[in-house]
Structure 1
């Protein structure tokens, strides 16, 4: 025999906390899937609401249960479920609110026609819930017969219920003007069995191209930041909806962490050409007296930087860390920087100054860290890019480098 709960156990009410969390997670899910021109609010117009860019508002009542059926699924939404009728009662009170200038049916009708009403819950769908079936049928085909079917079922439920509170809720719904009621039930939707809300959140992040290995950390940080910001807004009495632009400007850096990852550092010893001094870029450096043909150690070091950068670019593209057109843009940018410096250096250069000017160009560019996509290359990789382009006879240091 099951023992009765103690007062302490009843007062703790673990389901209440889960309900608040579920509501927040649904709010966050709507934020992540918001479109340009829309805005989302938490506990402002409803549990959650969304304002669309066509003057339509979506109102969401979010209900959660920790009660389970025998098979482990959450209990079903019954026809006389308190969550159902309290929700409908709340919406009717909003529709007919005199303090919001909706005392007469005409104003109520205008409000309903620009609204949708969504009951969101982890509760299961009940095959025995005839009321929900009739509402769905009416939203799909808004005929007079389908509306009458709903009204008849509401009357039956009011007569069969023994719960005074639920009877009161139903009475409020029945009192709604018929013209308003017709539009209300047309715009009433049930989103049930929303049990995997956290997974849906993570799926949304992946659909925004966050890498799978970063989803948990991005999800955790985003939850914390938005929850903290919302709490601070409540304390300051500045609770407002979050627009698409607000969300993008305030939180995009969190999501972009999992998209614009730092390039992986590839430390490896690449296979070098057999005849290092015969490489075009080495010949150019020897020609301007930046290095000597006998500087074996330096030649090996510079050759390693060139070959490592060339191989890294291949691996980054293959691994999806950069896109091929970003590599093309890198080469174009470095070539243009070199071209500007080369023209400036040799605009009024005397014959005896050629090597000195050539060395100034390479020395200056060796100090620059180039960008690949959103990433800044290291000094080693940036130098490797110079040697790679020079080896491909795309750039050079001597005034007459292309004739050497």
Structure 2
């Protein structure tokens, strides 16, 4: 059993990415609506209007010379003008489709940007369809447009724009989001959530028998919230816990890099050292992913390390003054505990729990910091060797 239901469903579904597209291109005090003035429309702050009809197909071109979609759309626009619902001189008329086809009348209308070209396009339409039977499904629309409202038709096609985009309408949305300097890694998250917001507004409005209207101001608030969320959500833990049987843990434990030797110097247990290895590996992996995903850059990473180092210096000095009763090992353990418990943010976001201790171990591995009171005498020399 054949059905054009998939194509019709796609036609309705196209309204959501198209509304989102127009919202992304809108400006303060503009209003975008769905199923109010055509499929999608934008009322500009200066009083002008863009009205759009969205036509789709899963098989082929829906805007042939004898297309009902084409002639019914033109008829509806003229009827809206004749009823005073729209002002042609203040309106842009857009016909959007997801399928291209061979050149036809719709292309002639699209190119008729002045009275002479509009007159030529009208003549071509009459010539091509002069043998159209009055019983044809498009006759009443064609007749109303070309024969009964010739002047309005020519005025409309001078303000007419045909837009063709393959697919489901989201390629244009992606480009508009990208124009707002959004990272490629963040676009899908923002696009999906904005589309959900548009869908919710439209469905709830229609269900409540209200006009589905979205203001630039409401959209702007939503966009900013999602942009902040997209950045926050990317400072996530991409790693897993490394248990003692993990190959990387075994390798680190066997090779004893400097940060582990620093922990040995303050007599940490084997379990504590295994936990340190896990933190070190996780922090390193996450940092690499965050930089790769453009969540942070090297300058932000260096600033984070600088703040941790400054805290380490202050705590080391404090412990040296206030905890003189503790020996070098105990002072080192206290310093490590204080540093691992430190709360720091990266770009105002709280990083995964392993990040701060793991970064401290990375600094210790470079002999930039240490835990034992004489760490610099021991490990800076070892690093140089």
How much has 1:232 moved relative to structure 2? 1.4
SS in 2 for 1:197: coil
1:99-248 maps to which residues of 2 (within 5 A)?
Answer: 108-109=88-89, 111=90, 115-122=91-98, 124-127=100-103, 129=104, 131-139=105-113, 142=114, 144-154=115-125, 156=127, 160-161=131-132, 162=134, 163-176=139-152, 181-182=154-155, 184-192=156-164, 194-197=165-168, 200=171, 226-236=198-208, 237=210, 239-241=212-214, 243=216, 244-248=219-223
SS of 1:45's equivalent in the other structure is coil
1:315-330 matches, within 5 Å, as 315-316=288-289, 320=293, 323-325=296-298, 326-330=300-304
Normalised by the length of structure 1, the TM-score is 0.66
C-alpha distance in structure 1 between counterparts of 2:31 and 2:307, whole Å = 40
Kindly indicate whether residue 78 of structure 2 is the aligned counterpart of residue 89 of structure 1: no
Deviates more, 1:52-61 or 1:40-49: 52-61
Contact 1:210–1:258, Cα closer than 8 Å, also in 2 = no
- Which residues of structure 2 form unaligned runs of 5+? 379-385
TM-score (structure 2 length as normaliser): 0.69
35 and 172 in structure 1: CA distance in 2 versus 1, 3 angstrom threshold: same
**Residues 32 and 214 of structure 2 are in contact (CA less than 8 Å); yes or no, is this contact kept in structure 1?**
yes
Structure 2: how far apart are the matches of 1:54 and 1:327? 47
Change (3 A) 1:18 1:75: closer
Contact 1:134-1:150 within 8 A present in 2 as well: yes
Structure-1 residue corresponding to 2:382: none
How much has 1:47 moved relative to structure 2?
0.3
Deviation at 1:173, TM superposition (A): 3.5
1:384 aligns with 2:370: no
| Gap runs ≥5 in structure 1 | 67-72, 103-107
Tell which deviates more after alignment, 319-328 or 75-84: 319-328
1:250-329 matches, cutoff 5 A: 252=227, 262-265=237-240, 267=242, 268=246, 269-270=248-249, 271-272=251-252, 276=256, 279=258, 282-283=261-262, 286=265, 291-292=266-267, 297=270, 300-301=273-274, 304-305=277-278, 308-309=281-282, 311-312=284-285, 315-316=288-289, 320=293, 323-325=296-298, 326-329=300-303
**Would you say 1:58 and 2:47 are equivalent positions?**
no
What residue in structure 1 maps to residue 309 of structure 2? 335
How many angstroms does 1:51 deviate by? 5.0
Match of 1:363 in 2: 337
State the Cα distance separating 1:120 from its structure 2 match: 1.6
User: Is 1:22 aligned to 2:11, yes or no?
Assistant: yes
Which residue, 16, 20, 29 being the options, matches 1:31? 20
Deviations 1:194-213 (A, max 9, x none): 4522674796699665669x
Question: After superposition, what is the alpha-carbon deviation per residue over 1:325-374, rounded to whole angstroms, capped at 9, x for unaligned?
Answer: 2432331232243345456666x647547867765443233224655568
Report if aligned partners of 1:261, 1:321 keep a CA contact under 8 Å in 2.
Answer: no
> What is residue 69 of structure 1 aligned with on the other side?
none
- 1: distance between equivalents of 2:41 and 2:13? 12
